[in-house]
Amino acid sequence: MNYPNGQKKRPLKKENTGMKINNYSNRGMTLEEDINVTNEYYLEQNRAVVHKKPTPIQVVKVHYPERSAAVITEAYYKRASTTDYNGLYRGKYIDFEAKETKNKTRFPLANIHEHQIVHMERVIKHGGISFIIIRFSSFSETYLLEIEKLLPFWFEQFHKGKKSISYEIIQQEGHLIPLKYQARVDYLSIIDQLYFNEE
């Protein structure tokens, strides 16, 4: 945890191993970091207001090594968080979860929790836009899958269905998100096509 400013510390640079980097998406950026940079760009360009939701914690113990410094030494999660991101875009509420997998053949549904599904269902029932962003890190491919398309797979798993969604189905049902320099995960370009009939 890196409170009070909430900023995540950047890992130290690794030694150069001489390996060639094929594209910028392999430079150690996680999906979360890419989405955070994208959201900052959207905000700077006045395109959308989308933020990562803070995880609700209860602080139990704080250590004060100096008068001006405080270190949280013990804390616990107050309750299960809903989804990773929410905000506003073109007058619509958007709410989404972001997941990354190293699996090359499928996306395990165990990566999503029931309370998140319930929350996303509520969002769409009230006219909001809800989806999941899935990155297959082995392929450097990132997909947007609407919650409406995810739900049948989610409920089917409890009736002797598969506990995962195959990579091929996500390729067919999902939408490949373009990787760009500033909007690294340009999910709004997909939202424009799906919800605002723009190409």
For residue 55, say whether it is annotated as part of any ligand binding site.
Answer: no
84 in a labelled binding site: yes
| Residue 37's CATH number | 3.40.1350.10
Q: Does residue 19 form part of some domain?
A: no
pLDDT tens, residue by residue, 57-67: 666 677 777 77
DSSP string over 35-74: HHHHHHHHHHTTS-EEEEPPPPEEEEEEEEEETTEEEEEE
Domain count of the chain?
1
Query: d(Cα 68, Cα 61) in Å, to the nearest integer?
Result: 17
* In-domain check, residue 4: no
Concatenated DSSP letters for 148-166? HHHHHHHHHTTTT--SEEE
Q: Is 17 inside any structural domain?
A: no
Q: What's this model's pTM, rounded to 2 decimal places? A: 0.76
Q: What is the pLDDT of residue 70?
A: 77
Give the whole-angstrom CA distance, residue 171 versus residue 143.
8
| pLDDT-derived band at 121, boundaries 50, 70, 90 | very high
pLDDT digits (tens, 9 = 90+) for 148-170: 999 999 999 999 889 999 999 99
Confirm or deny that 97 is annotated as ligand binding. Answer: yes
Q: What's the domain range around 32?
A: 24-54+81-195
In a domain, 142, yes or no: yes
Give a yes or no: residue 120 inside a domain: yes
Does residue 9 form part of some domain?
Answer: no
In a domain, residue 153? The reply is: yes
Tokens of 55: 């995880």
Structure confidence at residue 61 (pLDDT): 74
Residue 6 lies in a domain: no
Q: Is 116 annotated among the ligand-binding residues? A: yes
